[in-house]
Amino acid sequence: MDKTQALSLLWERNIRLNKLTHIEALIEWDRETGAPEKSGEEQAEMLELLTTYYYQEACDPMIQEAVKSVEEADFERSEDKAMVRFWKEYYKTEAVLGKEFVAKWALSVGLAESKWLEARKANDFAIFEPYLETLVSLAREKARIIDSTKPAYDVLLSLFEPDMSTAKIDSLFFKLAEVIHQLLEKVDAKIDDSFLTEDYDKKALHEFCIKVTEQMGFDSKRGIIDLSAHPFTTTLGVDDVRVTTRYTDKSLIDPIASLVHETGHALYDQNASLNPAIRGTTLAQGVSMGVHESQSRLWENFLAKSKAFWSYEYPSLQSAIPSLKEVSLEQFYQAINKAQISPIRVNADELTYSLHVILRYELEKKLIGGELEVKDLPKAWNQMSTFVLGYRPKDDLEGVLQDCHWAGGTFGYFPTYVLGNFYAAMFLEEMKKSFDVDKALSEGNFKLITDWQNEHIWAKGCIYKPSELLRKCTGKELGVNAFCEYLVSKYSKV
């Protein structure tokens, strides 16, 4: 097989396999938004079957021959280099697992997700415990198969954030936690935010939120917005990116922030798939979870919790929620940026959010490293929460059953939320060199911002590795300084 034939086959099969991931996403979407309670077991079996089929297709000897044919080849197009890199990574991290393990993993995840929902309803970790034990055991095995020379957690972490290690994260997180705790001692915890938790018209707020997503550039002809217990974004096709939010939280800012956050994710995926060079392939998506998270957190916090953003949007929100007409813009701005320790990660303020992630990071490192048994996790969670957050959860819902991530087997995912903050701060720092971001926000010229994001990040999809993308955009390596400077600047004034 010559180089041209091999490359053509790799592109063709990649597009075919990408459609299988979209079918899987459709099942997951249904599980989260409307499937009957008792459908979980069979859906888990469907996912097992689909995952096994994907594995068989991807491990076709013809594809393996094609990969070998181009392994040492040089390519002019960055897209071709990225496609070859995708396949080499697949055989290094996925194909090596074997069909039996892949099927077992998919079935175990499907069952665990159903039992996590059941455990949440009953507020009882014991229901979920044996299923989580299975996933932790399988995650350790997965890491050993992929690379037995590295610590298991480092292997799992690199599946979400390439070239990242616990050693690097430990140093970054230590400095960040220090800065956050110093700021918490200085911020005003007595800011009045009571008006945010008054009863409000959910329909009116939803209409306001939808309008904001449209202003941000969300294409409703290529995506939909629905409701779910846990807000998320998923891609079901090149022109089908779906977002959920919820209106069950006490504060009216929470659903706004959630939907803006998820729209940040959606804009990345919608725009990546518009690049004709990578459309329909696995390259037309976020390059890593950290970079993907940077786009959602950039919008949720750095932009949509700024005074400039609300100087434009606040009159519309006041029309939707008349009780806010008695609240000044300054009062509203102070309230939505109030920083204080709270129990729930997804509702945490911008300053303390990272502490929630650090808590989970420390626990899952111990779980995967064998220093912590699953049966001891609730107690360990409560102790770690007391140490990191200064808050002891009152039950499993406030503690160990909060998040769906471990039920999905995504060990190593949590740190990317904070890494996303680091990326976002560095991207924003660079964006400000091109134009006045605050002026663009205050005038409602969001397109100026999204055009910059598309040019420097979204349209590039997975063509470059995260570190290379960051260097091309900022000329720097990933670090904590820009984010710490941003927090100090903002919370010294709030």
pLDDT at 154: 98
Nearest Cα to 409, choosing from 90, 56, 110, 95? Answer: 110
What mean pLDDT is predicted for residues 303-312?
98
pLDDT at 46: 93
Sign of CA dihedral 6, 21, 226, 117: negative
Strands across the sheet containing 223-227? 223-227, 240-245, 233-237
Q: Which residues face 103 on adjacent strands?
A: none
* Locus of tokens 């009780």: 323
Q: Give CA–CA dist 209/206, Å, rounded.
A: 5
pLDDT at 489: 96
What mean pLDDT is predicted for residues 46-74?
93
User: Domains in the chain, please, with CATH?
Assistant: 3-149 (no CATH), 166-491 (1.10.1370.30)
- 57-61, 67-71, 279-283: least confidently modelled range: 67-71
pLDDT band at 1 (very low <50, low <70, confident <90, very high): confident
Residue 262 among the catalytic residues: yes
Nearest Cα to 238, choosing from 204, 284, 200? Answer: 284
pLDDT at 238: 97
SS3 284: coil
Q: Give CA–CA dist 29/235, Å, rounded.
A: 9
HSE, side-chain direction, 13 A CA sphere, residue 203:
0
Q: How far is CA 403 from its chain centroid?
A: 12
pLDDT at 346: 84
Q: Is the pLDDT of residue 363 over 90?
A: yes
What mean pLDDT is predicted for residues 373-382?
98
Give the whole-number percent of the chain exceeding pLDDT 70. Answer: 100
User: 222-260, pLDDT tens digit by residue?
Assistant: 999 999 878 899 999 999 999 999 998 889 999 999 999
pLDDT at 280: 98
pLDDT at 268: 98
Residue 248: count of CB within 10 angstroms of its CB: 9
Q: Is the pLDDT of residue 189 over 90?
A: no
Entry pTM: 0.95
Residue 295's identity, in one-letter code, is Q
Nearest Cα to 111, choosing from 413, 411, 408, 410? Answer: 408
User: 420-457, pLDDT tens digit by residue?
Assistant: 999 999 999 999 999 999 999 999 999 999 999 999 99
Nearest Cα to 112, choosing from 49, 43, 201, 174? Answer: 43
User: 261-295, pLDDT tens digit by residue?
Assistant: 999 999 999 999 999 999 999 999 999 999 999 99
Q: Give CA–CA dist 80/185, Å, rounded.
A: 51
Task: Considering the candidates 262, 300, 362, 398, report the single residue annotated as catalytic.
Answer: 262
- The mean pLDDT value of the chain amounts to 96
Nearest Cα to 47, choosing from 409, 412, 293, 413? Answer: 409
DSSP 285: S
Beta strands of 108-186 (E only): which ranges?
none
User: 152-172, pLDDT tens digit by residue?
Assistant: 999 999 999 998 999 999 999
Nearest Cα to 43, choosing from 109, 94, 97? Answer: 109
pLDDT at 229: 78
| Helical spans, DSSP H, in 150-306 | 152-160, 166-184, 202-216, 253-272, 289-297
User: 3-41, pLDDT tens digit by residue?
Assistant: 899 999 999 999 999 999 999 999 989 988 888 988 988
pLDDT band at 177 (very low <50, low <70, confident <90, very high): very high
The tokens for 456 are: 């420097």
What mean pLDDT is predicted for residues 78-96?
96
Q: Yes or no: say if 349 and 342 are a contact pair by the CB < 8 Å rule.
A: yes
pLDDT at 250: 86
**Higher pLDDT pick, 189 / 190:** 190
pLDDT at 163: 86
